[in-house]
């Protein structure tokens, strides 16, 4: 997890003052980071349908996400880390 946090915060995705792309990181630009819990990013295709059976169990994933957010806040400005879980429940279907 620590490697992932370092990668997110230090990856050079943004332009510098001269307009050259891929020169600055989130930290260098003092940008905010929005973190979302998103199980649909971890799936395999089973025919034409997504299969989530290899995804982390809800209890473990909630704990893991909490630790991830804690690491993000410990390695960057706490007020710059924005986090949300859409409906507060893991692995549930929600409606808009």
Active-site residue, selected from the candidate residues 40, 84, 92, 95: 40
Using the Cα atoms of residue 64, residue 79, residue 36 and residue 96 in order, give the sign of their dihedral.
positive
* 95 among known catalytic residues: no
In whole angstroms, how far apart are CA 91 and each of 22, 38, 42, 84, 85?
35, 9, 12, 15, 11
Residues carrying an active site annotation: 40
């Amino acid at each position: 997890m620590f490697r992932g946090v370092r990668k997110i915060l230090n990856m050079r995705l943004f332009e510098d003052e001269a307009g050259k792309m891929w020169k600055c990181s989130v930290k260098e630009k003092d940008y905010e980071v929005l973190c979302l819990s998103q199980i649909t990013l971890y799936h395999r295709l089973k025919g034409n349908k997504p299969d989530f059976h290899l995804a982390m169990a809800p209890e473990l994933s909630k704990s893991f996400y909490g630790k991830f957010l804690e690491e993000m806040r410990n390695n960057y400005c706490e007020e710059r880390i924005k986090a949300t879980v859409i409906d507060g429940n893991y692995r549930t279907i929600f409606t808009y």
